[in-house]
Structure 1
Amino acid sequence: MPSPSDVVTEPETRGGLRINGVSHRYGSGKDQVTALGPVDITVDPGSFLVLVGASGCGKSTLLRLIAGFETPSEGTVAVEGTAPTPGVTSGVVFQQPRLFPWRTVGGNVELALKYAKVPNDRRTERRDQLLQRVGLDGTADRKIWEISGGQQQRVAIARALAAETPLFLLDEPFAALDALTRERLQEDVRQVSAESGRTTVFVTHSADEAAFLGSRIVVLTRRPGQVALDLPVDLPRTGVDAEELRLSPEYARLRAEVGRAVKAAAA
């Protein structure tokens, strides 16, 4: 990823999000399980919201509702005032890259551009721009199995950014990666989110990841997931060295506060 410029131009922010009285259930009758809710969250455009909690607390369920993959059992989700539509209101990065192995790195991104209705004569240029943004310039002709797991997840991020959607959603995308690769990709996602101006919602079970990434952190209780803590973050998000940030006392205090809240919410 390119290093931040000395002169930062603020991007146009997009993606106001309103979660109003949302609950979600699975199954029916005596087998019915309430996974989530009720939850009320209003997210300002351009925010980086991190949903954090123990496994099974409903954070991935909430992300699917925001993406429009599922419809709430009760309540409403609105993106810029309208109900979410898969592939239109958000780009999504999953826990696994879910790339097409028979396509090249560039071919995976080009397919996303095709579905985003980018004209054919602009796709190559746009593809190269996206790959450069995620630190993969010069890899368009590589096979998927020729690149590392971290690089594959970078391709998935580029693919999610292909359409000019107001939301950028990530569901524990770095959970299977080693610690060093995970930290590098956290830094990349932080920068890409700030540069794009999109509202980002990131799901994790890690207090450390939440503290580093979020401009706002919401901790969910154990099932059915409800808001246990809604915490605005006052740490700088651009123009700061990542290592210095991780070593700062402010970061340590925030990480500890979130960690305590996650443990208490899961009890």
Structure 2
Amino acid sequence: MSSSPDAAVEVRDVVHTYGTGPAAVTALGPIDLHVPPGTFLVLVGASGCGKTTLLRLIAGFEQPTTGTVTAAGRPPVPGRNAGLVFQQPRLLPWKTVGGNVGLALRYAGVPRPERSSQVTTLLNRVGLPHVAGRRTWQLSGGQQQRVAIARALAVDNPLLLLDEPFAALDALTRERLQEDLRRVSVDTGRTCVFVTHSVDEAVFLGSRVIVLTSRPGRVALDVDVDLPRSGVEPDELRGSPEYAALRATIGHAVRAAAA
């Protein structure tokens, strides 16, 4: 069965099992997903439901036990088909902020004379002007995650994968970074797949939210988030009746799926 040419991500008949024999554990599936370009897809569910496993399959870090995964119509290749942001920033402490982003540009094949201006552009995009010369350990946790997002955006591909990147941050910083990421996704038009435990985060960030069942992870709910993605203040959006209704629907589905 061929993959759909208009899909940023296609997951077909996927089952993923860890181990073999009596000790084998099926973590995911069967599951099917069709993700059009430009979608901000959020995967939400209880711990152990297979969210990160599915993200790793899309990134190409693992191969499905059965079924197929494609990104832009091709089997994913780790580090090539997608920018990646993890729970921890994973920055190189011996390099400056600009050096970390510049290294990603180097691996992406950007000519050396062009890197400095692109570093500035990327750091401005994530709200970090004038920090290129600072060391990573001089930044707060939220600022380091912004650098990690800038580094992921340095790779010129249409897919961005994020595995609970704000989980370790305080509530205020988390909200600010959610707002930054939402703006960046609108500005760049990139397809995003975002993993979270937070229903509120899922509703705020996603243009589409998928709730996974407890192990093995399957689709319990697949809902489009019909909320404006630009031109509205974050507090106004979070306080709207439509936002509250979606949060209630998705929260109920998460609780039911984990039961």
TM-score range, shorter chain: over 0.9
The corresponding residue for 1:239 is 231
The corresponding residue for 2:3 is none
Distance 2:15 2:165 in 1: 24
Partner of 2:187, secondary structure, is helix
Distance 1:69 1:250 in 2: 37
Task: Determine if the alignment matches structure 1 residue 44 to structure 2 residue 14.
Answer: no
The corresponding residue for 2:110 is 118
Residue identity over aligned pairs, in percent, reads 67
Q: CA deviation at 1:23?
A: 1.0
Over 3 Å off, 4+ runs: none
Q: 1:76 aligns with which of 57, 68, 80?
A: 68
1:117-164 CA-to-partner distances (Å, cap 9, x unmatched) read 110110001011000000111000111111100000000000000011
List runs of 5+ in structure 2 lacking aligned partners: 1-5
Q: 2:79 aligns with which of 80, 87, 90?
A: 87
User: Partner letter of residue 196 of structure 1?
Assistant: T
User: Partner letter of residue 137 of structure 1?
Assistant: P
Count of aligned pairs between the two proteins: 254
Distance 1:89 1:193 in 2: 17
The corresponding residue for 2:172 is 180
Partner of 1:76, secondary structure, is strand
RMSD of aligned alpha carbons = 0.9
For the Cα contact (< 8 Å) 2:39–2:192, is it kept in 1?
yes
Distance 1:29 1:103 in 2: 46
For the Cα contact (< 8 Å) 1:15–1:166, is it kept in 2?
no
For the Cα contact (< 8 Å) 1:15–1:198, is it kept in 2?
no
Partner of 2:94, secondary structure, is coil
The corresponding residue for 1:203 is 195
The corresponding residue for 1:19 is 11
Task: Determine if the alignment matches structure 1 residue 226 to structure 2 residue 181.
Answer: no
The corresponding residue for 2:128 is 136
The corresponding residue for 1:169 is 161
Distance 2:143 2:21 in 1: 45
Q: CA deviation at 1:41?
A: 0.7
Q: CA deviation at 1:15?
A: 6.5
For the Cα contact (< 8 Å) 1:15–1:167, is it kept in 2?
no
Partner of 1:70, secondary structure, is coil
Distance 2:109 2:122 in 1: 16
Q: 1:160 aligns with which of 152, 158, 165?
A: 152
